[in-house]
A and B are shown apart, each in its own frame.
Chain A
Amino acid sequence: MSQELFKAEILPIRERLLHIAQRILVEEQEAEDAVQEVLLKLWHMRDSLYSYESPAAYATTVTKNHCLDRLKVKNRQESLDDTYSTRAGNDNPYLQLERKNTEEVLQKIIENLPPLQQAIIRMKDMEEYEVEEIAEITGTNIEAVRVNLSRARKRVREEYIKYTRI
């Protein structure tokens, strides 16, 4: 039931959401990523959407807040990068795990992925959605999903190797 609502009310306004994202985030690719993240988020909340008088209005609010949050994190990250780069020696954020517990390491790695990659790798590799389904929900195509999935998986591998070969 809520799937139809999502498709009928949310997907058609993708353009509008993209414009909002572009106004806030400026950079085209970032805005596109943000919209995909929002659509995935709304998809996972679709059971609650029916209770809104205007799901579309809600979606635009979510988009705005999401993009503002993204900006906030971006600014914070930039200053954090400065902090970390001045630290001498091994700046391994996973070293705080006393024992190199594989599962914990991977959990942290995935949690630290960029939001869209994180969402897509979870949907594909944990929740076993099909790529086509993810493409439909995000209003993109299979290639776009594939690219993010590929990036996410490669990143996970890189980070894993980096932080388990001490």
Chain B
Amino acid sequence: MDNLKNSNDMRSIKKYVMFTLIVGLGSILPTLQAQSDLQISKAFDQYGERKGVVMVELTDEMLNGYDFSLFKSLTIKDNPSAAEFIRKCLLRDEVGAKKVKQVVTNGVPTSIYLQLPRKGKLYRLILFNEIFTPEHKLTLIYIESKNDTEDVLKLILKKK
């Protein structure tokens, strides 16, 4: 029927890359103007100041040679229910996304990258990653940048 349903075949493959492009239904969905409109902002509010969590916020800073207008990250250890909560948030934030990229392991997206519609001149990006060994750790990053997020993604996805 369509490529999404073909994932049954894919599941037998242990690791694969799935690229999904979701057309932003701009006229129907309200443009997500501010980060606070995003579901993931709840994750920052809920988990940001807890034990076992590192939350970072940087405004108008340069990291690794790239300019970020806003950089927010959340790193949570040993908390599978937080992972579940954040994945639910991501599913909803994905709806208005311009592009979605995923890395899937054993049928589960272990890395998710969402390129969101721009907020004025700013490009926006959500990055999510969950690992299970050697410990359970999830990382959630929200970025606003004047630079095209393709470049930011290239930076992040560069071969080690």
Measured CB to CB, the residues of A under 8 A from B are 52-54, 57-58, 65, 68-69
Q: Contact between B65 and A58 (Cβ–Cβ < 8 Å)?
A: no
Q: Which residues of chain B are within 8 angstroms of A65 by Cβ–Cβ distance?
A: 64-65
Q: Report B34-88 residues with CB < 8 Å from chain A CB.
A: 64-65
Q: How far is the CB of B90 from chain A (nearest CB, A)?
A: 23
Q: Which residues of chain A are within 8 angstroms of B14 by Cβ–Cβ distance?
A: none
Interface class of chain A by DSSP: helix
Indicate if B154 sits at the interface (CB-CB under 8 A): no
Please report the C-alpha to C-alpha distance between residue A58 and residue B158 in the assembled complex, in whole angstroms. 11
Q: Contact between A54 and B160 (Cβ–Cβ < 8 Å)?
A: yes
Q: Which residues of chain A are within 8 angstroms of B64 by Cβ–Cβ distance?
A: 65
Please report the C-alpha to C-alpha distance between residue A53 and residue B159 in the assembled complex, in whole angstroms. 10
User: Which A-B residue pairs are the 8 nearest by beta carbons?
Assistant: A52-B160, A53-B160, A58-B160, A65-B65, A65-B64, A54-B160, A57-B160, A69-B65
Please report the C-alpha to C-alpha distance between residue A54 and residue B65 in the assembled complex, in whole angstroms. 22
Q: Which residue of B lies closest to A62 (CB)?
A: B64
Please report the C-alpha to C-alpha distance between residue A58 and residue B160 in the assembled complex, in whole angstroms. 7
Q: Which residues of chain B are within 8 angstroms of A58 by Cβ–Cβ distance?
A: 160
Q: How far is the CB of B84 from chain A (nearest CB, A)?
A: 24
Q: How far is the CB of B6 from chain A (nearest CB, A)?
A: 31
Q: How far is the CB of B78 from chain A (nearest CB, A)?
A: 15
Please report the C-alpha to C-alpha distance between residue A68 and residue B160 in the assembled complex, in whole angstroms. 19
Please report the C-alpha to C-alpha distance between residue A37 and residue B160 in the assembled complex, in whole angstroms. 21
Please report the C-alpha to C-alpha distance between residue A155 and residue B160 in the assembled complex, in whole angstroms. 39
Q: How far is the CB of B148 from chain A (nearest CB, A)?
A: 20
Ordered by A's residue number, 7 sampled pairs between the chains whose C-beta atoms are within 8 Å are: A52-B160, A53-B160, A54-B160, A57-B160, A65-B65, A68-B65, A69-B65
Q: Which residue of B lies closest to A69 (CB)?
A: B65
Please report the C-alpha to C-alpha distance between residue A52 and residue B160 in the assembled complex, in whole angstroms. 6
Q: Which residue of B lies closest to A58 (CB)?
A: B160
Q: How far is the CB of B111 from chain A (nearest CB, A)?
A: 13
Q: Report B122-160 residues with CB < 8 Å from chain A CB.
A: 160
Please report the C-alpha to C-alpha distance between residue A26 and residue B124 in the assembled complex, in whole angstroms. 39
Q: How far is the CB of A52 from chain B (nearest CB, A)?
A: 5
Please report the C-alpha to C-alpha distance between residue A52 and residue B64 in the assembled complex, in whole angstroms. 17
Please report the C-alpha to C-alpha distance between residue A134 and residue B65 in the assembled complex, in whole angstroms. 28
Q: Which residues of chain B are within 8 angstroms of A69 by Cβ–Cβ distance?
A: 65
Q: How far is the CB of B110 from chain A (nearest CB, A)?
A: 13
Please report the C-alpha to C-alpha distance between residue A65 and residue B65 in the assembled complex, in whole angstroms. 8
Q: Which residue of A lies closest to B160 (CB)?
A: A52
Please report the C-alpha to C-alpha distance between residue A65 and residue B155 in the assembled complex, in whole angstroms. 13
Please report the C-alpha to C-alpha distance between residue A57 and residue B158 in the assembled complex, in whole angstroms. 13
Q: How far is the CB of A53 from chain B (nearest CB, A)?
A: 5
Q: Which residues of chain B are within 8 angstroms of A52 by Cβ–Cβ distance?
A: 160
Please report the C-alpha to C-alpha distance between residue A87 and residue B64 in the assembled complex, in whole angstroms. 32
